Structure 1
């Protein structure tokens, strides 16, 4: 078979940095075929790009947000044909676009192909139908200015959380339909009315079921009127010194649950200038200025050391946050060792304890100070929980917070700080899980948002026990041979056969 227009990237060594850190990876059997020989012997078209380790082109299309792997096709047909060839030859593969994921299980791919969809850049708005149709190459930056570099469809497949959860719900709740390529090469449409069961699973576990080459979303119209607040919002950034951390965390617990239009992100970092751990707090309110000022009044009363308050059109809110420094979070190619947890209640004593542990980590590990942070994303969930739980496979609609313990350091990958960071990451994750609000349903209380999950969590803590039988049935139907095996893989049967 001759491919029309595809570009593939050979990936043979993907997660060396993660292996050095001792992170979880899927172990694959050793292959005995000459992959380079197989690929170069195939009749590719003139437009096809085939790259191998050691080549500049390979580096350019395999650099991820963290030091992972990455993965080039130009049409749904080329992606379908490339996938069919890989399957027939028994070559494992990974399909990517934004390359923003940090799940260590992606490193299980060895001696395989990477199929990059970063040329699938369709972006079409139907103003009459209020819909947006995009390809997998479209990133959030293409929709909301160039700072958010995660692939928009990829975010959707895992649920898609954000500051608007209280007003508009999850990304996946706006999804109307997708064009889907199954493991056997079949191309089809899935929506609420066509292949509806598959569509249910795609919205929460789609990365395990097939390739999405196009997605259509429902759009909400807003009138850009500053008077009513529609289309505008308030961005307030504050710096809170270490001495006020207890007061600050008690405040967050006191005002929870938040109003539907108020979202708060708290980041614990090291301040190099003063030589101390501090809190950088971002409050955003989507509505009239008067309402917004009332919402942030408790924070102003706290007396933060630095404040910046601006009322902005909504696209500007996304790059104004954290004193305009959030774009640094999307810088690719850095070592990031990340642990996460989801919570449905705020327990200030846990947050205070974690602040102390982070402060001690910063003090004892100077090489990690500039690259380590602890983010508490706390969002309202009124619109999210208004959607029936059974509407999608997404499991954690009642979550109110998402915690990311992100460790990085300068110097060698196997620096002594690596083990210290890993131990602290596991400890902090367990601390928050113990007071997460999920303790009665989940062992240890750990709930893992699919897009943030590390991969060492039990499947029940990622997908939820009651949703797994239905997901396993979908896996058995659409990917019985586990072709899509490298991102928190689903079983084909649940519970497993005795």
Structure 2
């Protein structure tokens, strides 16, 4: 197919050996090293439709790439066709209506940067380079979730190219079953070329980063757990974690680079309000502390993770987090690989996350806690060790798990985990939607739902 044109396609085609090809095939997770036959860099929905039709006609395995941040690396295919949306990053914002429409290749940095001057936002990821479409279609966990729900809760409509190359619009009045499915069902139903969101007022944000030596872990985690279980305000979000303390001025030099227990706290409001909400944890006198009021768009990029490293992620949603589970979580931290980049953390849910439970195909929303393991390292020789550690963190907490899982937090863990991400009843309903819009499972490089 070398040099073959694609009918109706107005973007750029990259093939092996051509300038830009090797750069374009790289995704966030360095464990993924695939060489597609062609990368179609789309500039419009018409380009996407043409590329989909071509891929189906030529029987090429189709991968859809937004930001390429997904840990499973499904944004690239070996010997197949990559539909690359990174040139489709437009942002159209109506501040009076509090609505924003973004292209399918937009990142949260694009959306946040446009909305923040109007003191508005919608729940995005915790990393500014994450793609809007991939995160939202999988549900969309982020700093604002306890206040405003998951990203998908603010979704108004999606423009989608289906497996037959047709453009459809899904919203509350059109293709309503598809619209329901796009609130967590991921990229199973087509290529999202544009998404429209409802924006929320966001007058101010405060970020806190707190660090103690690792041996304080159990005490810090219990205090943090109790804070939320006793009714923390919805404005308060964040996580408690084990990682290496950063080499920053606010961290004592003796703790920098050493194993530490930390808390990241975000608050929709002022520093004084955060201090009041976090008082029981601040009373433990962190060795390193940074508190600052800052624009939401800046907060969103403050903890961006580096690309070019090897990643393995997993997660468990907990029905409870008793002392014995806290101790198991703390004990596993001593085995953390490459501690300057790896971390294990727990995020509080509840608030608006739980209040929207039952509306969309996301049964994990009722869990009060999410435990995540992020194994990150650079040397391929450490793959087995890093993967085993990430799996063990979650295995330790599985006795306390709800059994459900947010699929954006994990890599490829098999079909049973996909079903667990939706629950059997929701999965069967999603499979019927899949059969209507993608009966041939053209879009299967994802957390795959098999057509009914």
Q: TM-score, normalised by structure 2?
A: 0.86
- Post-superposition offset of 1:84: 0.5
Q: Which residue of 2 aligns with 1:375?
A: 345
1:433-485 deviations in Å (ceiling 9; x for gaps)? 2213x1xxx3xxxx321212222141322221120110010111111110001
Q: Which residue of 1 aligns with 2:294?
A: 312
- Distance of 2:82 and 2:59 partners within structure 1: 14
Q: How does 1:174-213 map to 2 (within 5 A)?
A: 174-213=154-193
| Unmatched segments (≥5 aa) in structure 1 | 1-37, 223-230, 363-367, 494-498
1:105-154 deviations in Å (ceiling 9; x for gaps)? 667x3321111011112211123322101101211011335961011121
Q: How does 1:250-289 map to 2 (within 5 A)?
A: 250-257=222-229, 258-271=232-245, 274=255, 276-289=258-271
3-state SS, counterpart of residue 184 of structure 2 = helix
- Distance of 1:81 and 1:433 partners within structure 2: 45
Equivalent residue pairs, number:
422
Instruction: Pick from 28, 40, 54 the counterpart of residue 65 of structure 1.
Output: 28
3-state SS, counterpart of residue 426 of structure 2 = helix
Whether contact under 8 Å (2:317, 2:371) holds in the other structure is: yes
3-state SS, counterpart of residue 83 of structure 1 = helix
Q: Which residue of 2 aligns with 1:217?
A: 197
Instruction: Pick from 447, 465, 470 the counterpart of residue 429 of structure 2.
Output: 470
Q: Which residue of 2 aligns with 1:301?
A: 283
- Post-superposition offset of 1:356: 2.3
**Does residue 444 of structure 2 align to residue 485 of structure 1?**
yes
- Distance of 1:81 and 1:198 partners within structure 2: 22
Whether contact under 8 Å (2:8, 2:47) holds in the other structure is: no
Whether contact under 8 Å (1:122, 1:135) holds in the other structure is: yes
- Post-superposition offset of 1:213: 0.7
**Does residue 354 of structure 2 align to residue 385 of structure 1?**
yes
Instruction: Pick from 242, 247, 259 the counterpart of residue 214 of structure 2.
Output: 242
Q: TM-score, normalised by structure 1?
A: 0.79
- Distance of 2:95 and 2:385 partners within structure 1: 53
3-state SS, counterpart of residue 302 of structure 1 = coil
Q: Which residue of 2 aligns with 1:27?
A: none
3-state SS, counterpart of residue 102 of structure 1 = coil
Q: Which residue of 2 aligns with 1:114?
A: 82
**Does residue 381 of structure 2 align to residue 401 of structure 1?**
no
Whether contact under 8 Å (1:208, 1:489) holds in the other structure is: yes
Whether contact under 8 Å (1:252, 1:346) holds in the other structure is: no
3-state SS, counterpart of residue 327 of structure 2 = helix
3-state SS, counterpart of residue 364 of structure 2 = coil
**Does residue 395 of structure 2 align to residue 430 of structure 1?**
yes
| Unmatched segments (≥5 aa) in structure 2 | 115-126, 248-253
Instruction: Pick from 255, 274, 278 the counterpart of residue 292 of structure 1.
Output: 274
Q: Which residue of 1 aligns with 2:409?
A: 452
1:1-56 deviations in Å (ceiling 9; x for gaps)? xxxxxxxxxxxxxxxxxxxxxxxxxxxxxxxxxxxxx2423367896433234545
Alpha-carbon spacing, 1:73–1:340, altered in 2? closer, same or farther (3 Å): same
Alpha-carbon spacing, 1:199–1:60, altered in 2? closer, same or farther (3 Å): same
Whether contact under 8 Å (2:139, 2:362) holds in the other structure is: yes
Q: Which residue of 2 aligns with 1:354?
A: 329
1:237-285 deviations in Å (ceiling 9; x for gaps)? 1111122111111112212233211112223123596574211211122
> What is the Cα-based RMSD across aligned positions, in Å?
2.4
